[in-house]
Amino acid sequence: ASTRSYTPLKVVGDGSFGTVWLCDWHGTLPPNTPLSAMQCGAGAKREYAGKRLVAVKRMKKKWEGGWDECKKLKELESLRAIPYHPNIIPLYDFFLLPQTKELYFVFEPMEGNLYQLIKTRKGKPLAGGLVSSIFRQVVSGLYHIHASGYFHRDMKPENLLVTTTGLYDYRTLSPVAPPDAPLEKDVVVIVKLADFGLARETRSKPPYTEYVSTRWYRAPEVLLKSRDYSNPVDMWALGTIMAELVNLRPLFPGQGEIDQVARICELLGDPMDDYGLDGRGKPIGGGRWPRGVKMAKAVGFAFQKVRGSAMADIQS
């Protein structure tokens, strides 16, 4: 039988739905559960020697309906349904305290998140090879979620957990760098997708709630109040996150939903095809999006005529 005994070490996260502690776990875990990267290999921290680190998340809601009510929780449903993947935070255990009606999740712990990693750079760009590594890991985890029949709906830097495991000399990825360009020394990072509280099955029936994900990472169709969306909203968020990783600042930091749409159009152009083709034969501007124009009209919004910027401007 599983015994659930642990010592909280520190609070590592506190959101609207739950609080997460880094804990030393004294009970049993699933067979073959590996040690966290925070405890082994190049990423091992001396203060965690002799401990068995886990992240324990306590949900803030009281589950008066007991276990039958808990089983309907989307976060639990998706975590149990999506098979193990190295770029998704694994769920080790979950339990309901009968006395307090509090639900607990036990996860693999990580050092921090991508938002914190960006902040610690203090304006120093990430090595191209590091950006490439983070991209590959996030895409790999996201592909696995989608292939398992779910979409995340809340992709943002805070939900991409990271652990650094040392330093590495990355080859420069700049297309204009000479062959003998110096190597770029930077951290090695493990990335795992977390927080499946808003995840939904791809084949589940809309309408979904219109308010999903932090505004800056929200896809245009969600901003325009669509209740019928799917995996592409995760891909939009992925693009905005990767641009933020390169620039060390958010790509579309809108002050409100209308401002958010305006900022997107400023860069990508309005959803029309009135601006001709570029040198590669691609439409200049946002390109046609009749459904978007229709959705905008339904909420009383009219797209302003904006040609958009060159993609190179993203990095200026």
Question: From the candidates 14, 68, 154, 195, which is the catalytic residue?
Answer: 154
Contacts of 286 (CB under 8 A, 6+ apart): 265, 268, 269, 270, 271, 272, 308
Q: Are 45 and 163 in contact (CB under 8 A)?
A: no
CB 70 within 8 A of CB 96: yes
CA distances from 57 to 27, 63, 72, 94, 111 (A): 16, 15, 17, 9, 15
Q: How many residues does the chain have?
A: 316
Report whether the peptide linkage leading into residue 207 is cis, meaning its omega lies within 30 degrees of zero: yes
Q: What residues contact 153, with CB distance under 8 A and at least 6 apart?
A: 198, 199, 200, 208, 212, 213, 233, 234
**Cα-flanking dihedrals φ and ψ of residue 296, to 5°?**
-60, -45
CB 226 within 8 A of CB 185: no
Using the structure block, give the residue that is written with the tokens 């875990």: 29
Residue 154 appears among annotated catalytic residues: yes
- Taking the C-alpha atoms of residue 301 and residue 297, their distance in angstroms, rounded to an integer, is 5
* Contacts with 183 (C-beta within 8 Å, 6 or more apart), sequence order: 169, 170, 171, 172
Residues recognised as catalytic: 154
